Chains A and B, each alone.
Chain A
Amino acid sequence: MDDSSVMRKIVERSLRQAGIELDKVFEAGNGAEALAVLRENLVDLILCDINMPVMDGLEFVRQVPTVESAKGVPIVMITTEGSESHVVQALTAGARGYIRKPFTPDQVKEHVLPVLGKKP
């Protein structure tokens, strides 16, 4: 989830480069769109920006448990907001990982594989 379609493509490419098999990828431009996707689909992983219009990433992370089928799905933030307070807010809200932009495919691998129970 990112308000930039270009960034969504880059993240997807990075996941594939990390060797993560993607059966199906759902995209959303903000938290509200992503919640709508979660209500209709089962997912194994959520990657989420913070600064977005309509509903930001932190609010989205707080709202995810309201969708029964999405409870426990690992969430990794990918954002330009690199401050400690943002990291703490995200992890407190339920995120399991935090990647700062700009990021390399290796950083995506390093942060995403562990939350999927795999070795980086």
Chain B
Amino acid sequence: MSTDTSLVTRSHEENWQPVLDLAVEEVFEIMLGCRVKPVTQSEHKASRDFTAMVGLAGALCGILTVCCSKATAHQLAKAMLGAAAESEEQVADALGEICNMVAGNFKNKLSGADDRCMLSVPTVVSGGEYNVHSMVDGSTMTTMVLFENAPVSVTLQLNN
């Protein structure tokens, strides 16, 4: 599904939030076989045992992150693979791919951005004690969904 969106007319986070929501919903439905809908962020707090990151450069410049608990990351990998992941590395790989597909799906829905925006290969951080500091100084939008009743947070930070 493509959204008629141009960089000029839809440059505010309130306009792109539905695009990010849709990008997340499609990846979860198609690749994980799970229909999700965004939930209110204030009612849920996503753990950050795992954070997958994909950078965007070009017409859109910023970073997209996917955060969830360790247990949820394992469940996401299981849903993708159709069987339990064989290793922690495979769990990280699966989360990185989800992040990559959401980023790609998002930019492909923005006409004018898809040709002029490059994605990095994913990076995944795991562990309990860390903070992610982005140098991005523009808009931030977050889509939070529940996967098997556990929150998964998808955040897009873009430079102005």
Residue count of chain A within 8 Å CB distance of chain B: 24
A52 touches B30 (CB 8 A): no
Q: What size tier do the contact residues of chain B reach?
A: 20 to 34
Q: Does A63 contact B (CB under 8 A)?
A: no
Q: Bound state CA distance, A100 and B1, in angstroms?
A: 12
B119 touches A85 (CB 8 A): no
Q: Which of A53, A100, A104 is the one whose CB lies under 8 Å from B121?
A: A53
Per-residue interface assignment for chain B, residues 86 to 126, with 1 indicating a CB less than 8 Å from any chain A CB and 0 otherwise? 00001001101100110111001000001100011100000
Chain A residues, CB < 8 A from B27: 102
Closest beta carbon of chain A to B106's beta carbon, Å: 10
Q: Does B77 contact A (CB under 8 A)?
A: yes
Q: Bound state CA distance, A51 and B103, in angstroms?
A: 13
Q: Bound state CA distance, A4 and B90, in angstroms?
A: 9
Closest beta carbon of chain B to A108's beta carbon, Å: 12
Per-residue interface assignment for chain A, residues 76 to 120, with 1 indicating a CB less than 8 Å from any chain B CB and 0 otherwise? 000111111110000000000000111110000000000000000
* Count of chain A to chain B residue pairs whose CB atoms are closer than 8 Å in the complex: 63
Chain A residues, CB < 8 A from B84: none
Chain B residues, CB < 8 A from A9: 81
B81 touches A104 (CB 8 A): no
- Chain A interface secondary structure, helix, strand, loop or mixed? loop
A13-B104 contact, Cβ under 8 Å, with A4-B96, A7-B97, A102-B26 = no
Residues of B that sit less than 8 Å from A by CB: 26-27, 30-31, 77, 80-82, 90, 93-94, 96-97, 100-101, 103-105, 108, 114-115, 119-121
